[in-house]
Amino acid sequence: MPAAAPLALEATALAKRYAGTTALGDVDLRVTTGSVHGLLGPNGAGKTTLLRLIFGLAHPDAGTMTLFGRPVTAGRTDPQLGGFVEAPQFYPHLSGRRNLEMLSAYDHRSDPAHLETLLEQVGLAQRAGDRVAGYSLGMRQRLGIAAALLRRPRLLVLDEPSNGLDPAGIRDLRTLTGELAADGLTILLSSHRMDEVEAVCDAVTILHRGAVAYAGTVDALRAQAPAPEYRLHTADDAAAVATARAHKAVTVEWYLTGGLLVRAQQSDLDGYVVNLGRDGIAVQALHRSTSALEQMFFRLTKADGQTRGAVDAQARQEAAVG
């Protein structure tokens, strides 16, 4: 990414307190035009507060923001900005289409063809005439994306967009964000999941307890990352641990629930697995439980023991299921 690329969003020293607690303290955020930027952090890290400030929904206590060079005023949303904060919400007694028509009117726009295209694009064309009250969480999420794109923004802000989407929905969403990014749209994607950010983002800002824990490209983050974690099952785990002693770059621990936890970079892991075979130890299963970036994310947000534990446990559980 060229360093001189103009900034779509530049926030400097933003701070926001709610009833004595600091939601955000001295946060900088730089989103390059044309990039897909991840905003990552555990729940309660300040992502939502930051997004509310960007949308002008809340008034910052300190700091400045510019959007494509123009200062952001609290109390109104810049016309170049589209998206949603937290779960998108609509009027339940109006249909999906009527909701979009209303938002379109509130934007002083009227482009029925564009509206229908968007409904088609998010897969809601069939159900657009139904009242939103009958929509599933995933359908509301799709409607939220359509509503965000309605005003043809230059910066699209999505807050946990894959919430409530089934795997097929998540795949469609990734395809859509990819297409939008390819068309030159700048995207700020907020998420608590590293894998989601890793899949679509060029750069990432990691928030932790209202402060920036990391800001930079995903590649740079990956370079700093510790070895990924793998789960290994062999015919003879004790022998496999003994074999590991010959590999300095590989650490092996016992899982309480059975199997081995292996930390190693890919090339070292390859060498270890070859040696296992050479020693006559059959490898029954080997899969990655935590990616390098996830490891990095956990490390950056580690101070928050409770959250880390929860996320960690969740990650392991998902790995075990998968």
Partner 1 sequence: MSTWTVYRWEMEKLAALLRVRLAAGACFVAPFGFAVALRLQDAVPADTLFGEWVHLSGFATPMVLLVFTSQWALPLIACLVAGDIFAAEDRYGTWKTILTRAASRTSIFWGKSLAAMTYSVLMVALLALGGLSAGELLIGHQPLIGLSGTLIPPGQAAGLVLASWGVAVLPTLGFTAMGLLFSIATRNGPAGILTPTVIGLLMQLLALISGADLVRRVLLTTPYNAWFGFVRADRYYGPLLWGTVVSAGYVIGCLALGYLLMRRRDIDAG
Least separation, in Å, of the C-beta of 169 and partner 1? 21
- Per-residue x/- marks for partner 1, 138-177, CB under 8 A? ---------x---x--------------------------
Residue 106 as a binder of partner 1 (CB under 8 A): the answer is: yes
Neighbours of 72 (CB within 10 A): 20
Selected binder of partner 1 within 5, 13, 59, 274 (CB under 8 A): 59
Least separation, in Å, of the C-beta of 189 and partner 1? 17
DSSP state, 125? G
Least separation, in Å, of the C-beta of 90 and partner 1? 6
Residue 58 as a binder of partner 1 (CB under 8 A): the answer is: yes
Interaction with partner 1 in 64-83: which residues (CB under 8 A)? 75-77, 79, 81-83
Least separation, in Å, of the C-beta of 51 and partner 1? 10
Residue 190 as a binder of partner 1 (CB under 8 A): the answer is: no
Selected binder of partner 1 within 15, 103, 215, 239 (CB under 8 A): 103
Give the count of residues interacting with partner 1 (CB under 8 A).
34
The residues pairing with 157 across neighbouring beta strands, listed in sequence order, are: 83, 188
> What's the CA gap between 139 and 275, in Å, rounded?
50
Burial class (CB in 10 A: 0-12, 13-18, 19+), 266: exposed
Neighbours of 162 (CB within 10 A): 19
Residue with tokens 């996830």: 294
In single-letter form, the type of residue at position 25 comes to G
Residue ranges of the alpha helices (H) in the chain? Answer: 47-54, 96-106, 112-121, 137-149, 167-182, 194-200, 218-224, 237-244, 266-278, 292-300, 305-321
Selected binder of partner 1 within 84, 230, 272, 298 (CB under 8 A): 84
Measured from the CB atom, the residue of 75 and 322 that comes closer to partner 1 is 75
Least separation, in Å, of the C-beta of 84 and partner 1? 7
Least separation, in Å, of the C-beta of 251 and partner 1? 45
- Helix and strand numbers (H, E) in the chain are 11, 14
Residue 88 zone, left/alpha/beta (φ > 0; ψ -120 to 50; rest)? beta
Residues in contact with partner 1 by CB under 8 A are 18, 49, 52, 55-59, 75-77, 79, 81-94, 102-103, 105-108, 147, 151
